[in-house]
Amino acid sequence: MKFVRLALLLLSISLILFSSCGKEKETPETSDLLIDSTTINLIEPYSYADSVLMKKVLLVYLDDSLKSFNGIFEDDSYGIGFFVLKPLDTSNVINFKSELLDGIGDGAEVDTITLMNKKFLYYNSGSAFIGSRNLEIYQYLFEPLTKSIYKSYTALSEDGSIIQTYSQNLKEISKNDLVSFFMNQIQTKYIDDISERKLKVKYE
């Protein structure tokens, strides 16, 4: 009788161990979400972008037409950048990640806007570089479709004049609407008498 009980006990332990091993092997397969054109809509954009980039994400959204997550990230030390993530392209998930640009997250304004019938990601450094005696404003427009970045830097000199610097890709006449947008932001939010001040414009 003791032998029978011992045999049953050993059999029970074996079954438990076998069941545990089976569950350990199955867990990764059932927990991983298979991303396709439908399930991509179930992904939480911020959590996904953060896990891929390992950076603080300031703004991100799912572009359903491009099947991509487009957004703005902040570097741990200094600087911001733009990105395009394509989960369906497993060999090239980080489809685009820009170089670091001047800017920080604190006090900044980030948004998605439509200009010239195109969707852009917008960054404005806001109060980050504004002091009692100086004013510096960094603005960027990023077009995910073409991965183009348009830059604007505004500085107020001690004599009250304004130095306005644009990126070279804003020289084209076709980009006048973008230039006007940048200047309108400055006039509306920071320097309402901009038309009365001396203005120096350059492209770099």
User: Rounded to two decimals, what is the model's pTM?
Assistant: 0.81
Q: Answer whether residue 26 shows pLDDT above 70.
A: no
Domain ranges across the chain: 39-203
For residue 115, give the nearest of 60, 176, 169, 203 by alpha carbon. 176
Q: What is the pLDDT of residues 147-166, one digit of tens each?
A: 999 999 999 888 889 999 99
pLDDT in tens, 85-143: 999 998 999 999 999 999 999 999 999 999 999 999 999 999 888 875 678 999 999 99
Query: What is the rounded average pLDDT of the residues 66-81?
Result: 96
Say if residue 103 is exposed, middle or buried (CB neighbours under 10 Å; 0-12, 13-18, 19+).
buried
